[in-house]
Amino acid sequence: TWKTAMRDITSETPDITKSIVHHVQTSLARAPYNIDDFGAYQAAALSVRDNLIVNWNTTQIEYSRKSQKRAYYLSLEFLMGRTLSNALLNLGLLDQYSSSLSSLGFGIEDILVQERDAALGNGGLGRLAACYLDSSATQELPVWGYGLRYKYGIFQQLIKADDGSQLEAPDPWLEHQNPWELPRLDVTYEVRFYGSAQRWGEGTGRATWSGGQEVLAIAYDVMIPGYGTRSTNNLRLWESKPKRGFDLQSFNAGNYERAVESSNSAAAITSVLYPNDHTSFGKELRLKQQYFWTAASLADMLRRFKNLEKPISEFAEYNAIQLNDTHPTLAIVELMRILVDEEELSWDSAWTIVTNTFFFTNHTVLPEALEKWSVPLMEHLLPRHMQIIFDIVTVEKRFPGDRDRLARLSLIEEGFPKQVRMANLAVVGSRKVNGVAELHSNLVQKNLFPDFVEFYGLSKFGNVTNGITPRRWLDQCNPSLSALITDTLKIDRNVWLKDLYKLKGLLAHVDDPQFQARWAAVKHQNKERLALFVERQLGIKVDAHALFDVQIKRLHEYKRQTLNILGVIHRYLLIKSLTPEERKKVVKKVVFFAGKAAPGYYIAKLTIRLIVNVARVINADPDTNQYLSLFFLPDYSVSVAEILIPASDISQHISTAGTEASGTSNMKFCLNGGLLVGTVDGANIEIAEEVGDDNVFFFGNLTPDVEDLRYRHTYHPIPVEQKSPALAHVLNTVSSGIFGSDGVYEPLLNTIREGDFYLLTDDFDSYIRALEMVDEAYADRTEWVKKSIRTTAKMGKFSSDRAIQDYAQEYWNIESVKF
Ligand code: DL6
């Protein structure tokens, strides 16, 4: 077909077809007759990229011409997923490319799946950053992202065939040319580490930092197209490189290892994404990553600002910087260093600029995620920054003598060694601090930073509930539902995808049996698609008529995948105890899990192993497997989520109350008409407020009771047998060895039997009741479909367009740039 297409290229041939063929022959330097799907993907991507570059250039020129205030989103993680399908959607070119590719003999579906996910993130925090970039561009807001161009993204997850445990392999996502980035070899900055800092200028706070290691930061730009607009923003990712090639002297002396030592250490900075989620690190390399990235990003912003020829005192009027969690907090200190040491501003003027520029979002209340760095390490790696941190003593002026309070407010935690508290530094150096859902923002104020609330007043603290982009998380992943919505609302898709509150219009059709039937048919079709995917992956057939129950997220004790798997075992035992006749009344169910565990997180990895081995037993049991089956889908990614989410009947968001800051997959499932089983936690609460309590299956203890329950676990423990005989039976079954012998799961089970920090024993019975209510509700299929429609209809609030507008208006004070 390629040959025919090539021969047949005439002035009548669509431009897109010509452009694809052109890229095959020139950019790929390949002959058209031996092009496979991957080659066709590359050529199509390069052709789409041509469009993006034109829009991207125009947008950047307009930003410079209009000289408006800009915002910068500093995030160590951007979990972008695939780009081609999203770019085609946003450019409005999906149909054209689909038909051009088809005229060349390729199916668009086969081409889209050739792309490797860009997985430069661990989970929710990184995916949120990606959604915010999409919404910023869509709303024509001058927002750039800054991050790192890791050579290896989040590890690839494999499941060991013999014992079902997780194995990790590298993710060489840059193995092939990445068509979505533009290397900017001319945009480079030098970043210093180590060396020494000499104070000078008596009383000015100034110093000179010299010596040490200098590393080059090289910019790679990733184009971020807005939906239905030419506005195309930039995500600038930094790669580290040695400043000088290698040490020629050592090389000539025959010491090859020494010759490349320093260049290897420079390149190592951006070589791999840290695979930990929600845990702190003691790794020097991680601190190096943080400084390398913030220093290069700030130097870049300063250079851009200087082009405006405005006085440096006006920096904050033209720039807002959002700190995505504590990881970029060093930017506060780096800007102080630049303003005081290089721009020679007074300390106070510099501090005023800094505290008007930065905004800080906290994404978790888990204590282990509140970053701390040892003072000796900081002094060694960043001696000038450590001086500046010691000089930031603002809070200590207010409460003279109140030692306890000062100790809590301090940027430095006493101990051996002393530690720098990055969260305190972020609060002190930012204009506003927010959490990511109402409940979480309240906990940030009450539990995390109560002394700072008292010190600064409540006005410094706020909330921006997270959001998701409906482009990727409805239109792209669920095209049939999107088409049905457009057809039903009788408004252009462009309109409701940009104003998600318009989904409310679906409510007028809830009682229309024809619409209900079409809605149900779309869900079924998505379930069939998932069933096929599972069959291809795992070789097992899935009954798409069963209820699909999904839990997909990072493996963590607080997210309680363990509660879910114990619930599955409970259901299995129950079905097993029924007579064949009784079993026929059981609601058929398929349970899906997916998610990665941090490589060093033993208990989380044990949970995966349990899930995989329970699945092996249950799926092979002829007594029960038509009523209950279970799958753990390996190597969870954005692309896998795009298949799972549209297919769910229910999804589980079952964290211990008060532990999940927000959650964003809860929003994605509900937007796609899946109902939610959850605890009263994070954004579940606001989802229920919107869709109505009767459309959500809530269970479990509430946040205010958690501390008290934990206290009782420690001081007045009650045996599991007494608290929940059902749970005790399940635990004993696991111990009995039917899912694996030698007591492998005992450490996991003991976290529940002893201490039970995440309150599984307290919530198990109500969890099981909630699942029974799901079964009852699912039995009435018409009512179920109505719930599903109502849920989607009420999800307007959770568009990331709303969230990004909250930031733009309440925090950054930026306006869209129209052209
Ligand atoms: O805000 C995005 C996302 C929330 O939806 C999740 O609830 C929360 O767990 C996650 N937090 C992190 C924290 N990482 N660190 N540090 O990923 O953020």
> What single letter denotes the amino acid at residue 563?
L
ipTM: 0.99
Ligand 1 center to residue 435 CA distance, Å? 10
The number of helices, as runs of H, and strands, as runs of E, in the chain is 36, 24
CA of 69 to the centre of ligand 1 (A): 28
CA atoms 225, 226, 231, 235: torsion sign:
negative
| Cβ-contact 180, 82 below 8 angstroms | no
CA 365 / ligand 1 centre spacing (Å): 9
Ligand 1 pocket: which of 273, 274, 364 to mutate (most atoms within 8 A of CB): 364
Say what the pLDDT of residue 9 is.
72
Diameter of the chain by CA atoms? 89
| Ligand 1 geometric centre to CA of 367 (Å) | 13
Ligand 1: which of 79, 127, 436 to mutate, judged by most atoms within 8 Å of the beta carbon? 436
DSSP-based helix, strand, coil % in the chain, nearest 5: 55, 15, 30
Task: Give pLDDT, residue 263.
Answer: 79
Residues with CB under 6 A from ligand 1: 123-125, 128, 277-278, 325, 363-364, 369, 436, 466, 660-664, 682
Of 79, 125, 324, the one to substitute when testing ligand 1's pocket (max ligand atoms within 8 A of C-beta) is 125
The rounded Å distance from CA 655 to ligand 1 centre is: 13
Cα–Cα distance between 631 and 619 in angstroms, integer? 9
CA neighbor of 366 nearest in space, from 124, 529, 28? 124
Task: Output the pLDDT for position 764.
Answer: 98
Distance 125 CA to ligand 1 centre (A): 5
Q: Which of 702, 226, 664, 668 is nearest to 465 (CA)?
A: 664
Can you tell me whether residue 802 is helix, strand or coil? helix
Q: What is the DSSP letter of 309?
A: T
Q: Which atom of ligand 1 is nearest to the CA of 369?
A: 16
Query: Which DSSP helix (H) or strand (E) runs through 679?
Result: strand 675-679
Residue nearest to atom 18 of ligand 1 (CA): 125
Q: Count of CB atoms within 10 A of residue 456's CB?
A: 17
Three-class DSSP category at 688 = helix
- Name the segment(s) of the chain with CATH classification 3.40.50.2000: 67-82+117-466+805-812, 524-798
Q: Does the 67-82+117-466+805-812 domain belong in CATH 3.40.50.1370?
A: no
Atom of ligand 1 nearest to the CA of 122: 17
User: Using an 8 Å Cβ cutoff, are 734 and 755 in contact?
Assistant: no
Closest CA to 811 of 331, 424, 433, 302: 433
- Ligand 1: atom nearest CA of 682 is 7
The atom number, within ligand 1, closest to the CA of 371 reads 16
The class of domain 524-798 in CATH terms is alpha beta
Element (H, E) at 374: strand 372-374
pLDDT tens digits, 173-190: 999 989 999 999 999 999
Q: Whose CA is nearest to atom 5 of ligand 1?
A: 663
Please give the full DSSP string across 610-676, using - where no structure is assigned.
HHHHHHHHHHT-TTTTTTEEEEEESS--HHHHHHHGGG-SEEEE-PPTT--S--SHHHHHHHTT-EE
> Helix, strand or coil for residue 430?
coil
Please give the number of the atom of ligand 1 that sits closest to the Cα of 440: 7
Structure tokens at 440: 């979480």
- pLDDT tens for residues 748-772? 999 999 999 999 999 999 999 999 9
Is the preceding peptide bond at 383 cis, omega within 30 degrees of 0? no
Q: Which atom of ligand 1 is nearest to the CA of 660?
A: 7
Q: Which of 276, 363, 552 to mutate to test the pocket of ligand 1 (most atoms within 8 A of CB)?
A: 363
Which residue owns the Cα nearest ligand 1 atom 11? 363
Q: pLDDT value at position 397?
A: 62
Q: How far is CA 12 from the centre of its chain?
A: 45
Run of H or E residues at 80? strand 78-81
319 forms beta bridges with: 70
Token reading at 328: 């970029």
**Which residues, at least 6 apart from 780, have a Cβ–Cβ distance to it below 8 Å?**
none
Q: What does the pLDDT read at residue 2?
A: 56
Q: Which atom of ligand 1 is nearest to the CA of 127?
A: 2
Catalytic residues: 363, 553-554, 559, 664, 668
pLDDT, tens only, 313-331: 999 999 999 999 999 999 9
Task: Give the tokens for residue 692.
Answer: 């109505």
CA separation for the pair 784, 274 (Å, rounded): 42
Q: What residues in the chain have per-residue pLDDT under 70? A: 1-8, 394-400
Please tell me the distance between residue 213's alpha carbon and the centre of ligand 1 in angstroms.
33
Indicate the helix (H) or strand (E) that contains 147. Answer: strand 143-148
> How buried is residue 781: exposed, middle or buried, by Cβ count under 10 Å (0-12/13-18/19+)?
exposed
Distance from the CA of 290 to the center of ligand 1, in angstroms?
18
C-alpha 765 – ligand 1 centre gap (Å): 28
DSSP output for 232-300 = EEEEEEEEEEESSS--HHHHHTT-HHHHHHHHHHHHHTTTB----SS-----HHHHHHHHHHHHHHHHH
Instruction: Report in angstroms the alpha-carbon separations of 476 from 43, 83, 647.
Output: 21, 11, 14
Supply the residue whose CA is at minimum distance from atom 17 of ligand 1. 125
